[in-house]
Chains A and B, each alone.
Chain A
Amino acid sequence: MDEIAAEQETILEEFRQLGDAFACYSYLLGLAGLLPPCPDEVKVPENAVAGCQSHVWLHAWAENDRFHFRADSDTYILKGMLYLLMNVLDDRPLKAAAKGKLYFWKDPLLLGSFDDHRQKGLGYVAAALQKQAEELLGQESPADREAAEK
């Protein structure tokens, strides 16, 4: 199991231990406070993933061939989910971040209601992040990529 899958399994195990959906969502409210602060300059329209129900702002960059991002939302539940997404994707090798299979919010027992593309939910946010990781990966020189893969 790769690091990204392992982190997601850890997350799912934590949620399964919480018992019911209300406890899971309440837990997310608490996780919201752990999301690293997002600078105001990140919260600009070009970084926004806007929906009817909520707004999310994303800013990604590469450093030493690793993927990094900051994110924020105007809802606490999504902030909590963004914190978990950060645990899964942030500081991973660019290629792993771009290609890794992301699924933790799709677990039907726990967080199925996030996978709603119409509301531009977490699936949409994760796809946007992986697209950015893909673009950052494409900007690397072949030599950088070779070094990173070693």
Chain B
Amino acid sequence: MIAQGECGGHPVVYLDNAATTQCPRPVLWALENYWLEQHANVHRGVYCRSSQATMAMEETRQHTAEFLGAASAREIVFTHGTTDGLNLLASAFGDAVLRPGDLVLATEMEHNSNLLPWLEVCRRSGAVVELVPVTDAGELDQEALDRLLEQKPKLLTLCAVSNVLGTVNPLKDIIPRAHAAGTAVAVDAAQALRHGLPAVTDLDCDFLCFSGHKLMGPTGIGVLYGKEEWLERFGPACFGGGMVKELDWPDVTYEEIPGRFEAGTPNLSGIAGLGAALEYLQAVGRKRIAAYEGELLRYAAEKLRAIPGIRVLGDPARRAGVLSLDLPPLSAYDAAMLLDKKGFALRSGRQCADLLHRRLGLSGSLRLSPAFYNTREELDALCQALEEILSVSRRAGIPVGESHG
């Protein structure tokens, strides 16, 4: 159903689903159908196709709200992806809320996309960003978080699942504590939505961002969820067509939410693909997917831990989606390059999580992230390939697993 193809004469075993997932056929059909049957601009024309395109976009917005468990489709803003959503949020929150001396909390395990927008917006507003540290097990230091919350930060922004360690942050425990301190909470859910994230109304987070391409959808489409009362407080961060209610120069009235945040022509084919991807995930069964992927990850962790010379990074109480490895003194780059020559697609490097790698004392790591179309047999083959790489390395005089344990 999902083609993985060949590379260099080897069947590709795609294990980089934390970076992007493969599109199932229903998503590709939806994209084709959009371009062949529906393509027209939204909110512009009175003609049939434009109305249909607008309706299709708003249906996907409604569907996305249901998928997330949001109170209303008005809380769903289409973006280009998680990075774009976090940038939009930082800009809007910075303008509406942050003042000199205010505090924003992020964490040491964040992807750069959930650090750099806040760093920049705080520089501009005179606010300060502080980081919640990570423990040796790869969890957020909850005592440190409580100490930082005593300073009444304006916002806590954190990932639901670490893109490096797979740590599942206890959001249902953290969010009430943050709210008790008067702190809004933004969740980077890029790695979380295939792994059983509760409904946003249940979580009670104030904001949440995700990308379509990590959910079997196309690239270039994502969502910023924001509680209606928050979005109503924000002005637009981007200006142009489609977000203006009235322009009586120089006075301007902007659209209601969420259109206020969607200047210009939206990524309509991306929205069509996202809608199909969400339908597909629901048809397969979100709980079923989360359970199967969790089982694959546990299986991989157990097998990898048994290979001398490989260290699985972190030992969080709950892990989802990804496992990162260290194979000292072989670098992650070496291992990923060699695996590639056997057909295995794994991520290497700092994975856009520079601070976390510094905390771990590593210049990079090797990450595998199975999805529900992967199998135990593929993970067995990966372990076999890794054992061969370690063996080749030892023969080359590289002391893998000897001095580093």
- Residues of chain A having any CB pair with chain B under 8 Å: 20-22, 24-26, 29-30, 32-33, 52-55, 74-78, 113
Contact = CB atoms under 8 A, between A and B. Distances in A.
A29 B341 contact: no
Nearest to A109: B8
B333 interface: yes
Interface string B165-199: 00000000000000000000000000000000000
B338 A25 contact: yes
Nearest to A33: B397
Given A29-B334, A53-B333, A53-B349, A76 B341 contact: no
Contacts of B333: 53-54, 75, 77-78
Contact of A113 (B9, B337, B397): B337
Given A52-B349, A53-B348, A30 B334 contact: no
Contact of B8 (A21, A26, A30, A32): A21
B51 interface: no
A76 B349 CA distance: 14
A29 B340 CA distance: 15
A29 B342 contact: no
A22 B364 CA distance: 22
8 tightest A-B contacts by CB?
A: A29-B396, A22-B341, A75-B331, A21-B341, A30-B396, A52-B349, A53-B333, A75-B333
Contacts of A54: 331, 333, 363-364
Contacts of B340: 113
Contacts of B398: 29, 32-33, 76
Interface string B387-400: 00000110111100
Contacts of A55: 363
A22 B331 contact: no
30 contacts: A21-B8, A21-B341, A22-B338, A25-B338, A26-B338, A26-B392, A26-B396, A29-B392, A29-B393, A29-B398, A30-B395, A32-B396, A33-B396, A33-B397, A52-B350, A53-B333, A53-B349, A54-B331, A54-B363, A55-B363, A75-B333, A75-B334, A76-B330, A76-B334, A76-B396, A76-B398, A77-B333, A77-B334, A78-B333, A113-B340
Contacts of B332: 53
B337 A25 contact: yes
Nearest to A27: B396
Interface in B311-354: 330-334, 337-338, 340-342, 348-350
Nearest to A79: B334
Q: Is the interface of A mostly helix, strand, loop or mixed?
A: helix
Interface in B77-123: none
Contacts of B9: 20
A10 B348 CA distance: 31
Nearest to B364: A53
Given A22-B341, A30-B395, A76-B396, 16 more contacts: A20-B8, A20-B341, A24-B341, A25-B337, A29-B393, A33-B397, A33-B398, A52-B364, A53-B333, A53-B348, A74-B331, A75-B333, A76-B330, A77-B337, A78-B333, A113-B337
A77 B392 CA distance: 12
A100 B55 CA distance: 61
B390 to A, nearest CB: 11
A69 B349 CA distance: 27
A52 B353 CA distance: 10
A24 B338 CA distance: 9
A29 to B, nearest CB: 4
A76 B393 contact: yes
Contacts of B341: 20-22, 24-25
A64 B392 CA distance: 40
A56 to B, nearest CB: 11
Contacts of A30: 395-397
B254 to A, nearest CB: 38
Contacts of A21: 8, 341
A68 B332 CA distance: 30
Contacts of A52: 349-350, 364
A78 B333 CA distance: 9
A54 to B, nearest CB: 5
Nearest to A52: B349
A74 B342 contact: no
A53 B9 CA distance: 25
A22 B342 contact: yes
Contacts of B392: 26, 29
Contacts of A77: 333-334, 337-338
